[in-house]
Amino acid sequence: MRLTDYLDKGASLGPDLPCLTTDSQTLSYAQVQDLSWGIARALDRSGVRPGEKVAILSANDPLAFSCVFGISRAGAVWCPINPRNEADENRELLDFFDCSCLIFQASFAPLVERIFPLLPQVKTLVCLDQDLPTAIHFDQWVAGLPAGPWQREAVDDTAMIVGTGGTTGKPKGVMLTGRNIETMTALTLMSYPIGDRPVYLALAPLTHAAGVLCFPILASGGQIIIMRAPDLKVFLELVKSHSVTHTFLPPTLIYMLLGQPDLPYADLSSLRCLWYGAAPMSAARLAEALVRVGPVMGQLFGQTEAPMMISTMAPADHFHPDGTPATERFASAGRPSPLVQVAIVNDDGKQLAAGQRGEIVVRSSLVMAGYYKNPEATEEVGRHGWHHTGDIGYLTEDNYLFIVDRAKDMIITGGFNVYSAEVEQTLMEHPAVRDCAVVGLPDEKWGERVTAVIQLHPWQSVSTEDVRAFVKARIGSVKAPKQVEIWADLPRSKVGKVLKAEVKAQLKAF
């Protein structure tokens, strides 16, 4: 399936039903189809040929998201560009991806004007919402074209190229195929309670997880409510007013949601599934969410190279058959999905037994085609016939997957391996701690010392010695942080992940 097939499938279930809604304005499935045909024709008239790369630089917006389907219809490749990136990072991605067309919102015009002279391959600039001297207005771009269905054949199955982000060095371009997205969609539909006519609320950026989760919703004929900007008070209001059934929030936003004063009074009765993922979630906060948000939490684990559904844990799996919380699973990433093979291997590629820790590797049609113009990295990540995730974990006898750390985040202190994620889970059990990061710093005695940086809940206070004692009492002195720092906030990526490299850099600079 091509990306546009999900829109067409939804339209076949009811062309006049609501498809995309923003600010109380709704586009039906038929209207989004009309837009996609016009966009595809406009791309063709602009000289964009099948296989060429088209980038979208926009905040959450229904017209921008409609362009995704026009790009697919033109046989081109969608390149989502994170609007929160710095200008130089976006210039690098646009140039590296060989983009020939850039569609953007006027709010990003200063950024585009700065980088456009350095993008010789970009031939067409389209502004979605304003007349600009350097770009053609969207309305003018699509004007004068015939109406009705129109589509080009694609040159191959590449559907999108996604930047991995710069937290681990120079960004890579992950080539995701129609088959990858189809597998992800199938796993979503078989793993979670979707039901008829789902209503999906997209608060997080559509350039990331929140965007690809739209495809199973569209295939089910559902409605997508698009929030232009994240606002948790408005989020709660929209869940009630639109009878939202599904949504996705990264753990950081769930922690903030749990701190919302309006949460106890919110009507969340329509929710069937609140997906959480993109970063490890505190087991203590998950237990709180299952009570205060409801028994609707649904975990997913994936990465850009194998989107979303390497392993899953449906809302029902958070509980035992007798209804009691399955707390022993709360720190897990669920079970490997039905169309995914997961194994744990050592450095030599040998598979390890249940309970043994090693790198998590994956085989599935969920796994990317490779890194764009980087065969060496593609070969390295696919060694021994498995996709290597870079995560350290283990499988239990009953096939639950536990992720204990990123390989690069493991701390070796006094000859012992300490997994930062385990220390972070323990810190998050402290009632005063809102968020945290654990890193290893050079130490003459220990080699590396376990160092924790914590962010407290508003109006909370705690001593660093109390924090150390709290962790020591639960997981022992080796894993307890030898240094604890309290910061007002933690450095975060554009999607809210804590940047451990930046935490470590700031600590070393003190």
Which residue, 459, 462, 460, is CA-closest to 484?
Answer: 462
Domain with CATH 3.40.50.980 in the chain: 22-156
At 37, which helix (H) or strand (E)?
helix 29-45
Q: 8 vs 170, which has greater pLDDT?
A: 8
Q: What's the rounded mean pLDDT across residues 58-67? A: 95
Predicted local distance difference test score (pLDDT) of residue 167 = 41
Predicted local distance difference test score (pLDDT) of residue 319 = 97
Least confident of 245-254, 262-271, 407-416: 407-416
Please, which residues have CB within 8 angstroms of residue 148's CB and are 6 or more apart in sequence? 37
Amino acid (1-letter code) at residue 26:
T
d(CA 407, CA 345) in angstroms, rounded, equals: 12
Predicted local distance difference test score (pLDDT) of residue 3 = 97
CATH of 22-156, one of 3.20.20.70, 3.40.50.720, 3.30.70.270, 3.40.50.980: 3.40.50.980
> How is residue 58 written in tokens?
């926009």
Q: CATH assignment of 180-406?
A: 3.40.50.12780
Percent of the chain with pLDDT over 90: 80
pLDDT band at 165 (very low <50, low <70, confident <90, very high): low
- Torsion 280-249-455-287 (CA) sign: negative
Q: What's the rounded mean pLDDT across residues 28-47? A: 98
pLDDT at 168 over 60: no
Three-state secondary structure call for residue 221: coil
pLDDT band at 65 (very low <50, low <70, confident <90, very high): very high
CB 434 within 8 A of CB 462: no
CB 274 within 8 A of CB 296: yes
d(CA 201, CA 199) in angstroms, rounded, equals: 7
* Long-range contact set of residues 488-492: C-beta below 8 Å, sequence gap at least 24: 488/455, 489/455, 490/435, 490/436, 490/437, 490/453, 490/455, 492/252
Domain with CATH 3.30.300.30 in the chain: 410-509
What pTM was estimated for this model as a whole? Answer: 0.86
Q: How far is CA 241 from CA 24, 225, 248, 303, 350, in A?
A: 10, 11, 18, 32, 53
The class (CATH top level) of 410-509 is: alpha beta
CB 43 within 8 A of CB 152: no
Predicted local distance difference test score (pLDDT) of residue 239 = 98
CB 405 within 8 A of CB 458: no
Q: What's the rounded mean pLDDT across residues 455-482? A: 92
User: What's the angle, vertex CA 494, arms to CA 289 and CA 176, rounded to 5?
Assistant: 90
At 125, which helix (H) or strand (E)?
strand 124-127
CB 50 within 8 A of CB 75: yes
